[in-house]
Structure 1
Amino acid sequence: MNNHEIVQKLWSLCNVLRDDGITYHQYVTELTYLLFLKMMKETGQDYQIPEDYRWESLSSKHGIELKKHYVELLNELGNTQDGNILSQIYTNAKTNIDEPKNLEKLIRSMDQIDWYSSDKEDFGDLYEGLLEKNASELKSGAGQYFTPRSLINVIVQLVNPQPGERCHDPACGTFGFMIAANNHVSKATNEYFSLSEQEVEFQQKEAFTGVELVRDTHRLAMMNALLHDIQGEVILGDTLSSLGEGLKNYDCILTNPPFGTKQGGERLTRSDLTYTTTNKQLNFLQHIYRALKANGKARAAVVLPDNVLFESGVGGEIRRDLMNKCNLHTILRLPTGIFYAQGVKTNVLFFTRGETEAGNTKEVWVYDLRTNMPSFGKRNPLKEEHFADFIKVYDAEDRSKVADDRWNVFTREEIAKKDDSLDIGLIADEAHSIYENLPDPIGSAEEAIEKLTQAVGLLNEVVDELRFVESGKSYKPKNKILLINEAVGVSSDE
């Protein structure tokens, strides 16, 4: 089995858990609990786990005994007090699996996978594949924590993290940016063989760090870091709280902060940021450019929605502060359809922190990768080759000599005349603008059919179970409503 086949096999196991009312995202979390134990066994590292709770303790038990032991295992591994990777992955861990036979089938199926077949890539890549599968299958949920890997790889390539630099993601999701940054430095240093022992230790333990607010997503980030041999700190917390005040002096920041506003219209609780707003992205932007070293070399690349580019009031003040403190040298206008929500318009801002506090941005180059681009989505995913022309102009020795209609420059004075709006550089195309927000019709139809087919199947199961109840036989109800909601793409409240 190659890496793709193993991911497909693991993903197909989620069908085992449908009768327990487990959603896709819960399934990946559940699978993470089991995968950690399995990976530790397969890599000979299970000596770090108490003997009574290693993989063999699960594979040797059956039925109710297995279920009881699994609940005990999750509780005990989550209650260790040393703060190691074990306790971080299992803290507050609870199983959603009700039926012992389903748990047993999951464990037996994982035991049957050929983990060491010659074509299989490493465990880290396998887990990344599983996270990507989860994001693509449930765009309304897990997709918000998962930036397309093609976009991450291009951003990391252009920012070009170096050995010895401190890289950080203040909204790290499943840790994708830091995994890619680690891969980039590793490749440039012959898998760290060209570095000294001290330098290798820094790369493994200090170079790549992050913060994640959502506990279950933090678990996935910890697992991802572990499988890629990254031991840098992954904090469970909120960067926009007082926690973020101590996160500073980074050489590289690579991130895709969450969209939206603070819940309940709350104001920012940090005391170190000049401008207060409920807009999360604007607050993250403030945090990011202030968290860079003011040495003329520290740099960032941030994925942000269009509203950050044009929001007035505090938004304008933050953009002015950004362009004063940093050289905002490039904006990439991204195509629509590449994230979990249809029609979301996003951009990547590339900037370098200056040594002074004012006048660092002289001109901003903008590349339009949105207008007249194909519709992206599940049928037509965004790939690295779509960025080829942008990479060419970004790296050009003299950008002014590049002939590309998508590539334009705006002086700081021109931007000031537009009230410091950065909603600039899009190609004028009236014919295209009529359709630019419309999703791929074939992809949308196929997705609708898939959801409806899934929902009909689940409704048929409900009917069968209701008939079973009417017959007067003993029955333990299953949570089908959540699954039906998921299938048709609505929330439980709806």
Structure 2
Amino acid sequence: MTSTTDIVAKLWGLCNVLRDDGVTFNEYVTELTYLLFLKMMSEVRDPQGGLREERLPDGYRWGKLAKLEGVEQLDYYKRLLLDLGKPEVKDNLIRSIFTDAQTRLRKPTNLKALTSNIDQLDWFSAREEGLGNLYEGLLEKNAADKKSGAGQYFTPRPLIDCIVRLMKPQAGETVQDPAAGTAGFLVAADRYIKDQTDDLYKLPEAKAYFQRHSAFVGGELVPDTHRLCLMNLLLHGIEGGVDNIDTLSPDGEGLPKADLILTNPPFGTKKGGGRPTRSDFSVTADTSNKQLAFVEHIVRALNPGGRAAVVVPDNVLFEDNTGRRLRTWLMDLCNLHTILRLPTGIFYAQGVKTNVLFFQRGKRDKGNTKAVWVYDMRANMPAFGKTRPLTVAEFADFEAAYGSDPNGGAKRKEQGEDGRWRCFNREAITGRNDNLDIAWLRDTEAEAEETLTEPEDIAAAIIGHLKAALEEIEALSEELEPDSVGEAVAIAEAAE
């Protein structure tokens, strides 16, 4: 999509205008989102053919904003952002996108430069290729820019698409992401379903309505990220579904049960060493380790027979005490059939070692995991980074080994000690004290990192290793002296 790529590049170039007005890298996309939302609303038709712009109150639309000049335009823009987030706005989605919205722009000339440049973009081509694709491209551009910091744990699109292809979301299923970010997993699942149903036209109207309004649910903690998430969903024809909540609080208990959960939860500990406040949590109720707590949420949120694919750091696989209890509980309640050991360097924080857990919720609560298949995509892999980005092709061998059954039931063939694909029965895992950090190939990660040449990649690798080490120390401290963890975390955060 050459036109979309060109438009994304031009939009990102407008960030220089924002920087001149004191807007930081972290605020770039949020600031552009307000303006792009108004412009795109004037360009998009909804599935029923009505202009989306009609959802905005009269007098709060792009046409009026773009015509104004100078201080009058800036004052009108500030008032527009404030008013669209007020309770009296009847459209819930519009109100959610603009809740607490405010501009960082101070110079009228810069606002005029932005509105003029946005108006001059090739919106005909953008409409043809999909405004949702354009917006996703902007989010990905932001994540790829080291200075923005947005990509620290940004899930690469090739990985998202691989997971979605394997999990095969179906029309009529409820799909949840409890840590939705900018909705990358939900949008990819929606795209997969639309490809199977001729953009939902093959579905009866009631099912099509469900797909647009109820199929995709989740939570996102950070307000600005939630704003980007809602806009991304809207531009792909999905009406909301993701709430601005802390999933590890009682609000998370209210998320609908799911047939499929796809997610990359945040890593690390809750600020101040706080524990989850969920009344339904038992295994992780006493830990501040977010990734362990999210795994408990995912298991509890699945319908019987429901399936999940979740990105987790290595310590979920090997941590003792709470970690071990969680793994044993998970393998009892679910069929944990597959673990993908991901290569290092695919996330901005290069030192973070990650995996994807694929499992299915059992219809009974005991003995669901009989064996775990492990694919090692980490050992003897090249260094991924700015000079060698992750591509779809990297996952081809894993997808072939995984097979066509989303729940790991396809016929599989072991590759032996010299291959990347091996099976470990439940007895063998029990003999490891339920430690799932299983590696048998010589790991050349250190050698690979020596090949990093970009200063930004090298710095990111160093920072990532330090953060990973700090998190492991915090987890160990929590097990030894639970009462002192909050103070230790606070000191560490203050040091940052």
Q: TM-score, normalised by structure 2?
A: 0.86
Where does residue 435 of structure 1 map in the other structure? 447
Where does residue 77 of structure 1 map in the other structure? 84
- Structure 2 Cα separation of the partners of residues 335 and 445 of structure 1: 18
SS of the counterpart of 2:261?
Answer: strand
| Residue correspondence of structure 1 range 269-280 to structure 2 within 5 A | 269-275=277-283, 276=285, 277-280=287-290
1:145 and 1:173 in contact (8 A); partners too: no
- Structure 1 Cα separation of the partners of residues 370 and 52 of structure 2: 53
Quote the offset at 1:493 in angstroms.
Answer: 8.4
Where does residue 26 of structure 2 map in the other structure? 25
Aligned length: 447
Matched, 1:380 2:388: yes
2:314 and 2:354 in contact (8 A); partners too: yes
| Residue correspondence of structure 1 range 15-54 to structure 2 within 5 A | 15-43=16-44, 44-54=51-61
The amino acid that maps onto 1:70 is: Y
Where does residue 72 of structure 2 map in the other structure? 65
The amino acid that maps onto 1:399 is: R
Where does residue 250 of structure 1 map in the other structure? 258
Where does residue 185 of structure 1 map in the other structure? 193
2:230 and 2:240 in contact (8 A); partners too: no
Quote the offset at 1:23 in angstroms.
Answer: 1.7
**TM-superposition CA deviations, 1:296-327 (whole Å, max 9, x none):** x3100000000100000011000000000000
SS of the counterpart of 1:218?
Answer: helix
The amino acid that maps onto 2:426 is: R
The amino acid that maps onto 1:375 is: A
446 and 255 in structure 1: CA distance in 2 versus 1, 3 angstrom threshold: closer
Where does residue 423 of structure 1 map in the other structure? 437
Rg larger in structure? 1
The amino acid that maps onto 2:17 is: V
- Structure 2 Cα separation of the partners of residues 445 and 267 of structure 1: 34
108 and 232 in structure 1: CA distance in 2 versus 1, 3 angstrom threshold: closer
Name which of 367, 371, 375 aligns with 1:367: 375
- Structure 1 Cα separation of the partners of residues 154 and 457 of structure 2: 22
2:175 and 2:215 in contact (8 A); partners too: yes
1:376 and 1:440 in contact (8 A); partners too: no
SS of the counterpart of 1:42?
Answer: coil
| Residue correspondence of structure 1 range 223-302 to structure 2 within 5 A | 223-275=231-283, 276=285, 277-294=287-304, 297-302=305-310
146 and 60 in structure 1: CA distance in 2 versus 1, 3 angstrom threshold: same
259 and 17 in structure 1: CA distance in 2 versus 1, 3 angstrom threshold: same
Quote the offset at 1:446 in angstroms.
Answer: 8.2
- Structure 2 Cα separation of the partners of residues 286 and 348 of structure 1: 15
Structure 1, unmatched stretches of 5+, are: 449-490
Where does residue 223 of structure 2 map in the other structure? 215
Structure 2, unmatched stretches of 5+, are: 45-50, 405-409, 460-492
Where does residue 131 of structure 1 map in the other structure? 139
Identity %: 54
- Structure 2 Cα separation of the partners of residues 131 and 112 of structure 1: 21
The amino acid that maps onto 2:7 is: I
Where does residue 406 of structure 1 map in the other structure? 420
1:139 and 1:340 in contact (8 A); partners too: no
Q: Select between 60-69 and 399-408 the one with higher mean Cα deviation.
A: 399-408
Runs of 4+ residues over 6 Å off in structure 1 = 445-448, 491-494
The amino acid that maps onto 1:73 is: L
Q: TM-score, normalised by structure 1?
A: 0.87
Name which of 173, 177, 180 aligns with 1:172: 180
Quote the offset at 1:25 in angstroms.
Answer: 2.6
Name which of 142, 160, 164 aligns with 2:168: 160
The CA RMSD over aligned residues, in Å, is: 2.0
2:383 and 2:452 in contact (8 A); partners too: no
